[in-house]
Amino acid sequence: MGGGTLRIDQEGGPYPPNTGYFPDLLKRIPVQGAPSRERAPLPGASHGTTILAFHFQNGVLVAGDRRATASNRIMSNRVDKVLEIDDSALLAISGSPAMALEMARVLDHSLKYYRRSQLTEISLEGKVRILAQLLKENLPMAVEGIGAVVPLFVARDPDSRIVRIYFYDILGAHFEGVEFSVGGSGSPEVQGILRYLDRWSPHPLREMSREEAIVLALRLLETASYFDSATGGIDSQDPIWPVMKILTAETLETVDEPTLSTIYRNEVMRVR
């Protein structure tokens, strides 16, 4: 067949397409004792999303769409994928919502326990390593292809007050996204746009105002939803707005729906 886009495994079944999205890549790995073909999605094994984080003038904006899918089925359009861990950290989730939400609960509990037992805030490195350990413990589910979690973690350093962006792999290795980071099945388009804007636009990302950052985030999610069916768009009949939060050196803010609605209609739809 032309293009060579479909591969057949030794059992005669097609491999899932190589999209670059990690949960899809996991399905290409044969499980011992089982045919190396795509398994049917389990109940609750929903995934698919676009999450993003980037620096702007005042801090870091973190956003995510709200759709969760299982295979070609839309499971929900109201999943909150940007979670407040405390007043100084945000966790943006891609992959299995069930596993990610449990990790968020454990991480939040661990930070509260440390604060109450040690009477001080845990360091930024400590927060990063706790999340890394949770990802390592989730590895068996990730390898099965039903519980992979690939998060973004945005946190304020309690000493320097600098806000930093981290991205992870499923083994818990973490890396700092200096200017921006993205995740999820709709991330390839978003990553390319952010790289282009930060490298060649007249004003790098860190020079953007708060409103310019919100406009950009809405446009990026709209672009991702156009190319990626697992990323939720905004239905004009029943608008479901993405979750968008801003973490600065001093504050943690949730961008409210009226603000998102006004900016979306004026700057994304361009309805005057």
- Is 196 contained in some domain? yes
Q: Is 25 within the bounds of a domain? A: no
- Could you report the per-residue pLDDT of 102-125, keeping only the tens digit for each? 999 999 999 999 999 999 999 999
Q: Is 49 a catalytic site residue? A: yes
Flag whether 222 is in a domain.
yes
**141-177: pLDDT as tens digits:** 888 877 899 999 999 999 999 999 999 998 999 999 9
What is the reported pLDDT for 98? 87
Determine, yes or no, domain membership for 8.
Answer: no
Listed residue (212, 214, 219) closest to 256, CA to CA? 214
Residues 6+ apart with CB under 8 A from 216: 54, 197, 208
221 within a domain of the structure (yes/no): yes
Quote the domain boundaries for residue 207: 46-268
Q: Is residue 54 part of a domain?
A: yes
Q: How many domains does the chain have?
A: 1
Catalytic residue among 49, 50, 69, 231: 49
Dump pLDDT digits (tens) for 87-100.
999 999 998 888 99
Token output for 138: 């989730």
pLDDT at 8 (0 to 100): 42
Q: pLDDT tens digits, the chain, 272 residues: what are they?
A: 444 444 444 444 444 555 555 556 555 655 555 444 444 444 434 456 899 999 999 999 999 999 988 877 888 889 999 999 989 999 999 988 889 999 999 999 999 999 999 999 999 999 999 999 999 999 998 888 778 999 999 999 999 999 999 999 989 999 999 999 999 999 999 999 999 999 999 999 999 999 999 999 999 999 999 999 889 988 767 789 999 999 999 999 999 999 999 999 999 986 55
Tell me, yes or no, whether 19 lies in a domain: no
Q: Which pair of tokens denotes residue 72?
A: 């070609």
CATH code of 254's domain: 3.60.20.10
Beta bridge partners of 174: 168
Amino acid present at 211: E
Residue type, 59: G
d(CA 213, CA 61): 7
Q: Whose structure tokens read 């790098």?
A: 204
Residue 9 and residue 36 in contact, taking contact as beta carbons nearer than 8 Å: yes
